[in-house]
Amino acid sequence: FVSAVRGKHLTFQTSGTITYLKKVNGRDLREGDFVKKGELLAKLDDRRLRAELAQAEAQTAEAQTQRVTAQANLSQAQANVEQTKAQVISAQAQFEAAKNDFDLAISEFKRRLELFDAGVISESDVDVYRNRAEDAQSQVRAAQAQVNAALSNVKAAESQLASAQSQLTATVAQIASAKAGQTRSTISLEDTEIIAPFDGIVAHLNIREGDFWTTQILNSANTSNYQTVVDSVPIIINDPSAYEVNVELPTFYGPLVQPGQSAYVVLDQDMSTASSRGMSQQELFRLARARGTIFSVSPSVNPGERSVNVTIRLYQGSKNVLDGERVSVWIAVEENPTALSVPLNAIVYRDQKPYVFVVNQQEKVVKLRPITAGIRGISMQEITSGVEPGELVVTEGLNRLVDGTPVEVINYSKGNREQGVGSRE
């Protein structure tokens, strides 16, 4: 059968009411209409899905706003950490200074005690340095308290930083989730549309505006019956610029068929006409509506049919065939332009071996002569041995002849190839 090299089954991926069908010259799309790549061919009611998409977009926008806030909070928290760490350094410096002052005050106080014991200074002088030492000690304690407070501030700032980081991570996750929901909604919307994937022609159209479509239509189709699938798919488009023919050949022909060999295609209706009119194979050959070459030969055998699948790509006459049309194909598996050949109806078989009746014009009798057959064409058979160029062979009434039957040659001319050995076509 004939099929487009490029075809596509187009379907909705969701269920709903068909609210749009492409318009062509003011009317709805029909089978046979041409469509352009990217055109919207059909659409389901998508109001609910559009609302879901709008909600997903709003959630994405809100999450992005929250992310900006979280990023600002994180930056502020990082600045606070740096600031509190600087405060710790400052407090520690003040503590060291206070400690040094305290050490100096203690040293001065001890010296004054020694002088007092020696009777050099009065007790009031000692009290002055004692008070100074006590004040310095108070300064050390205060500085230590500032260091501890600064360290606590660092921990608090670091905790706020971790919280801000968690908040930012959460908002990033929210954005990803919102965008995923937005993507799902977008895909769901796309599932309500049928878009032409390439320039082509509508081969099958099984929907109308207002119909309710459900994916169960395809799910319940008998996939083993291709016609059921064809009748269930909403739209099928084909590229009419290139067709191919898929044939199944008996396995014993498989090794003979090779890519690149010529093939001739005859429509089944022409085959029927030829059969009813009793046309010869040569006349049938002239009825070939298309020509092509072998594109591929399957290396495997179909178990059920015990056949080999062969694909023929047409290069001439593609406009004369239709997608899905059944045809007959003749494949030229061998060629020999210089071959000696006789008409196929000149050959008889005895014990499954080929013979021809050769006319002995001198004795006016026929001789049954064994032959070796070569390449078989549509109407002619190559003879590799058994006859010579120019010899006459009988093509009609063979069932009335035996070896040695007298014959009379009438209306013979050397140009009549149906009565003599001729060159292969």
6-15, 217-226, 248-257: lowest mean pLDDT where? 217-226
Tell me what the mean pLDDT of segment 87-108 comes to.
94
Q: Is residue 422 part of a domain?
A: no
Question: What pLDDT is attached to residue 206?
Answer: 93
Report the CATH number at residue 171: 1.10.287.620
Band (223; pLDDT cuts 50, 70, 90):
low
Band (306; pLDDT cuts 50, 70, 90):
confident
Q: Which residue has the higher pLDDT, 116 or 272?
A: 116
Q: Which SS3 state, helix, strand or coil, does residue 158 take? A: helix
Question: What pLDDT is attached to residue 277?
Answer: 65
Question: What pLDDT is attached to residue 421?
Answer: 34
15, 117: one domain: no
Question: What pLDDT is attached to residue 1?
Answer: 86
39, 53: one domain: no
Strands 422-423 and 340-343: antiparallel
Tell me what the mean pLDDT of segment 230-236 comes to.
90
Other beta carbons within 10 Å of 180: 12
Q: Is residue 53 part of a domain?
A: yes
Band (416; pLDDT cuts 50, 70, 90):
very low
184, 203: one domain: no
Share of the chain above pLDDT 90, in %: 59
Is residue 411 predicted with pLDDT exceeding 80? Answer: no
66-75, 167-176, 224-233: lowest mean pLDDT where? 224-233
Angle between helices 47-117 and 123-190 (to 10 degrees): 170
Angle of CA points 160, 165, 169, to nearest 5°:
145
Question: What pLDDT is attached to residue 33?
Answer: 95
Q: How many residues does the chain have?
A: 425
76, 36: one domain: no
Q: Is residue 310 part of a domain?
A: yes
Is residue 420 predicted with pLDDT exceeding 50? Answer: no
218-222, 324-328, 389-393, 405-409: lowest mean pLDDT where? 218-222
Evaluate whether 193 touches 11 at the Cβ level (below 8 Å).
no
Q: Which SS3 state, helix, strand or coil, does residue 34 take? A: strand
Sign of the Cα pseudo-torsion (356, 359, 365, 370, in order): negative
57, 182: one domain: yes
Q: What is the model's pTM?
A: 0.62
Question: What pLDDT is attached to residue 281?
Answer: 56
Tell me what the mean pLDDT of segment 282-300 comes to.
84
Mean confidence (pLDDT) of the chain: 87
Q: Which of 331, 350, 372 marks a domain boundary?
A: 331
28, 63: one domain: no
Q: Which SS3 state, helix, strand or coil, does residue 251 take? A: helix
Read off the tokens for 296.
């591929």
Question: What pLDDT is attached to residue 221?
Answer: 63
Question: What pLDDT is attached to residue 378?
Answer: 67
Q: Is residue 336 part of a domain?
A: no
Tell me which residue range forms the domain holding 279: 244-331
Q: CA dist 355 to 369, 372, 391, Å? A: 5, 8, 14
63, 26: one domain: no
Closest CA to 395 of 353, 350, 345, 349: 345
Q: DSSP 3-state helix, strand, coil percentages of the chain (rounded to 5)?
A: 45, 25, 30
Band (279; pLDDT cuts 50, 70, 90):
low
149, 184: one domain: yes
Q: Is residue 414 part of a domain?
A: no
213, 249: one domain: no
325, 397: one domain: no
Question: What pLDDT is attached to residue 183?
Answer: 92
CA–CA gap between residue 38 and residue 194 (Å, rounded): 9
277, 323: one domain: yes
Q: What is the DSSP string of 73-128?
A: HHHHHHHHHHHHHHHHHHHHHHHHHHHHHHHHHHHHHHHHHHHHHTTSS-HHHHHH
Q: Is residue 141 part of a domain?
A: yes
Number of domains the chain is built from = 4
Tell me what the mean pLDDT of segment 137-157 comes to.
93
Among the residues of 118-201, which ranges form H helices?
A: 123-190
Is residue 415 predicted with pLDDT exceeding 60? Answer: no
Q: Is residue 283 part of a domain?
A: yes
Q: Is residue 420 part of a domain?
A: no
Report the CATH number at residue 278: 2.40.30
62, 174: one domain: yes
